[in-house]
Amino acid sequence: MTHSLHRQLSLKLASAIVLLGIVAAVISFVLSYMEAKEFQDDMLRQIAVLSVHPGMDRRSKDTAPREVVSDPESRIFAFHLPGDTSPPWLSGTLASGFHTVNAREGALRIYIHDVDSGHRTVVAQSTDARDEIALGSALHTLIPLLFLLPLLGWLIMRILRREFLPIEHLANQLDAQSAEQPEPIDDHGLPIEIMPFVQAINRLLYRVGQLIAQQKRFIADASHELRTPLTALSVQIQNLRQAGSLEDVRQRLVPLQAGVDRARKLTEQLLSLARTQSDAQGKVNVDIPALVRDLLSDYQPVAERKRIDLGLDEHARFNLLTSPESLRLILRNALDNALKYTPEGGEVTIHLARSDGAAIIDIIDNGPGIPANEREQVFDAFYRTESAKGEGSGLGLAIAREAARQLGGEVSLLDNEGGRGLTFRYEQPV
């Protein structure tokens, strides 16, 4: 399942803001409500203090409480004792200060103010009126926050949409590119958070471009190399048709058979190169000396025909985590070249050693060698040196390098210690 990063960020940020906004609104509401209550208590206290005057003890006694403040909304009234009639809900035991009492009209919030002359001022207010006023005051602070929350959510979505536009532009730029010739993405003006991702894509596009160019070059070279043996086979078949006798047919079959063998070998090498370029095979723990001895037994008849001394110089025994098929392919290509170019009576030796945590397999011959300025070029597909003799396609070393790369190893060509011949080295970390 896929999910939208834009939608996820919008929902999470909007949810966080709404949640925090609700918490802030609740806190603001509670604080405003409490502040309104305190403000009303302060108002009761101020009314009680301001209503005291020196002649209040000489006032006549009324049968009902006298209203000091006649505000139908706030519903505040005051009593001056002992001059005014004490209401039923007022107990003589109440101390000076704030109290909440129950009356016939409902709960009241009262403030009692005693003076030195023994007189007492009582200011009362209905708790329903207080709650109504406090609630109205608190709601006035809450309503703006509730209106702002949807606006904040909308702004977040707009900002995120605008900030994600560069990614959409990058996607459109990638879609518009040609699959045969990808170009790097222009990273000018991009946010620094996505720069590593864009740079990684550019590096990938560069490698893809190199691979496409390599494949095009490989297809062109393979077509060229296959054209020559196929043309020769066509000519030889025509010559075979013109044979006048059975003996002549036998003689003309010899080059035809050789041409078929060359075409088959070239096709096998092309398939091997394509296979090694696509993927390495599974790796297992391989006994290298045992694998090398198997190879030597396979090539011993070839070495005997040319009277070449083919041997093994085992300085270390080791195992490698590798693909036996790919490693055998590397060493076969090296042995093919060594036995092919080493003159009769020469020597080819496989040398096994370990150095600095790496396994080293050297195939050493005393043939003509390869000039130092061409030792890197011979690893290119279909490249052959000017001194190369006999039939060949120039694919052996290219296949060996590609297989070594897939195994995590490295191949190279080195001078021999004696100065003559060449050393093919395969090196892989143990």
> Per residue of the chain (430 residues), what is the pLDDT tens digit?
455 666 777 777 878 877 887 887 788 778 887 877 777 777 777 777 776 654 544 444 444 444 444 455 556 777 777 766 777 777 767 888 888 888 777 788 888 888 766 777 888 887 877 777 777 777 777 777 777 778 877 888 788 788 778 777 888 888 887 777 788 887 777 777 778 888 888 888 888 887 787 777 767 766 766 676 777 778 778 877 877 788 888 887 887 887 787 777 777 766 766 666 555 557 888 999 999 999 899 889 889 989 999 999 888 888 888 888 888 888 988 898 899 889 999 999 999 998 888 899 999 998 888 888 888 888 876 676 665 555 556 677 877 888 888 888 999 998 887 778 899 999 998 8
Give the tens place of pLDDT for each residue, 255-288: 788 778 777 777 776 676 666 655 555 788 899 9
Q: Dump pLDDT digits (tens) for 318-335.
A: 888 888 888 888 898 889
**3-class state of residue 301 by DSSP:** helix
> What pLDDT is recorded for position 65?
44
When computed from its CA atoms, the radius of gyration of the chain, rounded to whole angstroms, is 50
Report the CATH number at residue 259. 1.10.287.130
Domain ranges, residue 231: 195-274
The reply to whether 418 and 288 lie within a common domain is yes
- Where among 213, 246, 274 does a domain terminate? 274
Q: Are residues 43 and 148 in the same domain?
A: yes
Q: Which of 310, 289, 293 is nearest to 301 (CA)?
A: 310
Instruction: State whether 9 and 156 are in the same domain.
Output: yes
CATH number of the domain enclosing 296: 3.30.565.10
Same domain (yes/no): 200, 242: yes
Tally of domains within the chain: 3
Q: Does residue 181 lie within any of the structural domains? A: no
Q: Please indicate, yes or no, whether residues 315 and 392 belong to a single structural domain of this protein.
A: yes
13 and 114 assigned to the same domain: yes
Q: Decide: 90 and 101 in contact? Cβ < 8 Å.
A: yes
Name beta bridge partners: 76.
125
